[in-house]
């Protein structure tokens, strides 16, 4: 049985999808972009956008009853591979134990022209 997860502390879905789905003790998130949920604003720069996207992801996982330490896999989509190092520095501050497995790919364009999008799979 699947359960839809949503929170106002992460960007609302802007299409026919859920922020996250829980099934069999696992949480699967949709791609999270660096939109400030309260204002709809997008921070300037890759470092600020990485922090906002990861904060949104953390808030979504909290709403699902889990946290960043239970993330087993992430996929990071970035607009510019030259930002990889900056994004990586922010990324590592959001995990306090073993890092999850990860894929990181450069893409041509992301929603709202943001610099990154991240999705995750976590255990409950």
Q: What's the pLDDT band for 96 if we cut at 50, 70, 90?
A: confident
| CATH code of the domain in which 110 resides | 3.30.1330.40
Say if strands 71-78 and 116-123 run parallel, antiparallel, or are unpaired.
antiparallel
Lowest mean pLDDT among 41-45, 78-82, 90-94, 97-101: 97-101
Residue 25, pLDDT score: 97
Query: pLDDT by residue (tens digit) across 7-54?
Result: 999 999 888 999 999 999 999 999 999 999 999 999 999 999 999 999
Structural domain boundaries, residue 58: 2-123
| Residue 56 near residue 48, CB atoms below 8 Å | no
**End-to-end Cα distance, the chain:** 15
Q: Report helix, strand or coil for 65.
A: coil
Residue 28, pLDDT score: 98
If one counts the domains in the chain, the total is: 1
From the candidates 104, 110, 119, 121, give the one annotated as an active-site residue: 104
104 is catalytic: yes
Instruction: Kindly report the pTM of this predicted structure.
Output: 0.96
Residue 14, pLDDT score: 84
């Amino acid at each position: 049985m699947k359960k839809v997860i949503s929170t106002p502390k992460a960007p609302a879905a802007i299409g026919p999808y859920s922020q996250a789905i829980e099934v069999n003790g696992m949480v699967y998130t949709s791609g999270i972009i660096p939109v400030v949920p309260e204002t709809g604003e997008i921070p300037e720069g890759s470092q600020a956008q990485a922090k906002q996207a990861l904060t949104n992801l953390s808030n979504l996982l909290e709403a699902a009853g889990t946290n960043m330490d239970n993330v087993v896999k992430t996929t990071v989509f970035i607009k510019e591979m030259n930002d990889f190092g900056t994004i990586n520095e922010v990324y590592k501050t959001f995990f306090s134990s073993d890092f999850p497995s990860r894929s990181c790919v450069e893409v041509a364009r992301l929603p709202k022209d943001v610099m990154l999008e991240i999705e995750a799979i976590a255990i409950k």
